[in-house]
Copies of this chain bind each other. A is one copy, B any other.
Amino acid sequence: MARTEISTLGEFGLIRHLTKDIKHLQPSTLKGVGDDCAVMNFDQQRVLMTTDMLLEGIHFNLEYVPLKHLGYKAAVVNFSDIYAMNGTPTQITVSLGISKRFSVEDIESLYAGIRLACERYNVDLVGGDTCSSMTGLTISITCLGTAKEEDIVYRNGAKLNDLVCVTGNLGTAYLGLQLLERELMVQRSTNYGNNPSAANDGQQIDAFEGREYLLERQLKPEARRDIIARLREAGVKPTAMMDISDGLSSELMHICSQSKVGCAIYEDKIPIDYQAAAMAEEMNLNIVTCALNGGEDYELLFTCDINDYEKLVPIEDVYLIGHITKPEAGLHLIGRNGEQLPLKSQGWNAFNE
């Protein structure tokens, strides 16, 4: 594969190269890349803003994450935050710190993923910053979105007896990560002295067969735009909502502490994918623990008024897992035999080892 050094283009040349054929999809975008600022006309809509930073060696490992997937995911996790407010993502800016290890073609792949996500979700890439880094790859994306004021759903609106719902299934992205990490260890231990990129392709295909869904959930997550649309069609406005990026337990704590309520969720109601369950079994992991604390699923967690129950039930891929209780009751997981276990946030603390 060709390798063009970024220094041959320079900073401005690289930006021009990456952004030259960008077409805007959003009527709100008046001016994109190419000036001191992007300019938007949001008319009477409220504006939502979220940002995410991804650092090599912390959030991703390029030994098994393809750059195009990484770009796609970096954009989608921001869109997920906008949907989690019941809004619509509209624009992003992309800032990259790039070490000399990366070629123009590498950054093209990363951008191809970002732009694919933008096309699929109808979002405009309107600006950014591109600079060299001493070490590895840094990606910082900021996303704007819009919503009508009356549609916005915060974390602090859950109230006594509300239903607690999640979408999709949980723990799957975490088990995808465990699978990728395990195969990397296998490759490293069998490949010493060989060419690591070519070796063991056959073995790896075996290891991943039947587990494609786990890999997809980890490498190429989607934001639940479909659920937001279905809730709207059904006439259901959640009382509180957020996306599940750090694990169900951690997100439940955010909603309950901000809403000043407690909750009870039922172990046997937590949606689990069968590939994930099999993978957990094989790895001697408790699948419920994975689902509670795994993170990176980018599913939605929301609470709804109990009077919306009839409207909620027919909505595909939405699962009732519990209900909101008084604050003094705390946060509990009700086990399969009715036992009450206090929920703890074991969410990711990157500052701890």
Contacts and interface: CB of A to CB of B under 8 A. Distances in A.
Interface of A: 5-7, 9-11, 14, 30-31, 34-44, 46-53, 55-59, 81-82, 84-85, 87, 91, 93, 95-98, 100, 126-129, 131-136, 138, 140, 142, 144-145, 147, 149, 152, 154-156, 242-243, 258, 348-353
B42 A38 contact: no
Given A11-B349, A39-B147, 8 more contacts: A38-B48, A41-B46, A41-B149, A42-B42, A49-B126, A50-B93, A51-B95, A97-B138
A205 B149 CA distance: 56
Contact of A39 (B40, B46, B126, B127): B46
B7 A352 contact: yes
B351 A9 contact: yes
A140 B9 CA distance: 23
Given A7-B352, A136-B135, A127 B258 contact: no
A53 B129 contact: yes
Nearest to A89: B37
Given A39-B48, A46-B39, A85-B39, A131 B93 contact: no
Contacts of A30: 46, 149
A5 to B, nearest CB: 8
Contacts of A58: 97, 131-134
A134 B136 contact: yes
B10 A131 contact: no
A349 B46 contact: no
A131 B53 contact: yes
A29 to B, nearest CB: 10
A41 B157 CA distance: 20
Nearest to A128: B51
B85 A140 contact: no
A351 B11 contact: yes
A49 B85 contact: no
A205 to B, nearest CB: 31
5 contacts: A6-B351, A30-B149, A37-B87, A52-B95, A53-B138
B49 A134 contact: no
Nearest to A243: B36
A81 B36 contact: yes
Given A52-B95, A95-B51, A35 B134 contact: no
Contacts of A56: 134
Contact of A258 (B14, B34, B43): B34
B46 A44 contact: no
